[in-house]
Structure 1
Amino acid sequence: MDIPNSSQFSSFKDSLARRLMAKAVVSDVPDEGDALDEFTSYLAIEVWSMLLPAVREATYENRDQVPSADEVYLDNIPTSFIDTLTSCAFVEDSDAALTFLRKVLEDYLADVCAPPPMWSKTRTTECEICQREVPLTYHHLIPRETHSKVLKKKWHPESMLNSVAWLCRPCHSAVHHVASNEDLAKHLYSVELLLEREDIQRWRKYAAKQRWGVRRG
Structure 2
Amino acid sequence: MLRTIDSPQFSLFKDCIARRLLSYPDLQNPPQESQELDDFTSYLTQEVWPTLPAAFLTASYETRCDLPEDLDSMLLHSVSGAFVDTLISYGIAEDAEGAETFLRKTLADYRQQACAPPPVWSSTRGKDCEICEREIPLTYHHLIPRSTHAKALKKKWHPESMLNVVAWLCRPCHTMVHSVATNEDLAQNYYSVALLLEREDVQRWGRYASKQRYGVRRG
Give the C-alpha shift of residue 27 in structure 1. Answer: 4.6
Q: 1:122 aligns with which of 121, 124, 127?
A: 124
Match of 2:136 in 1: 134
- For 1:27 and 1:48, how far apart are their aligned partners in 2? 24
Q: Deviations over 1:21-79 (max 9, x none)?
A: 10122452324322222222222221111111111121112111122333532111122
Q: Secondary structure at the match of 1:207?
A: helix
1:80 to partner: Cα distance: 2.2
TM alignment of 1:185-200, pairs within 5 A: 185-200=187-202
Cα 1:24/1:201, change in 2 over 3 Å: closer
Q: Which residue of 2 aligns with 1:5?
A: 6
Shift of 1:166: 0.4
- Superposed, 1:1-217 pairs within 5 Å as 4-68=5-69, 69-217=71-219
Q: Which amino acid aligns with 2:55?
A: A
User: Quick one: structure 1 residues 80 and 188, their matched pair in 2 at CA, closer, same or farther if it must change by over 3 Å?
Assistant: closer
For 2:91, give the aligned amino acid: A
Count of matched residue positions in the alignment of Structure 1 and Structure 2? 215
Amino acid of the structure 2 residue aligned with 1:36 = L
Moved more, 15-24 or 201-210: 201-210
Equivalent AA in structure 1 for residue 215 of structure 2:
G
Q: Provide the C-alpha distance between the structure 2 equivalents of 1:37 and 1:197, rounded to a whole number of angstroms.
A: 29
User: What RMSD in Å do the two structures reach over aligned CA positions?
Assistant: 1.8
Contact 1:60 1:113 in 2 (8 A): yes
CA drift of 1:205 comes to: 2.4
SS in 2 for 1:216: coil
Letter in 1 for 2:89: S
Q: Distance in 2 between matches of 1:24 and 1:209?
A: 47
- Distance in 2, Cα, partners of 1:196 & 1:34: 25
1:95-118 Cα distance to aligned partner (Å, 9 max, x none): 222111100000011111112211
Runs of at least 5 residues in structure 1 that lack an aligned partner in the other structure: none
Q: Which runs of 4+ in 1 moved over 4 A?
A: none
Pick closer, same or farther for the CA change 1:65–1:174 going to 2, 3 Å: same
User: Which deviates the most, 194-203 or 139-148?
Assistant: 194-203
What SS does structure 1 have at the residue aligned with 2:68? coil
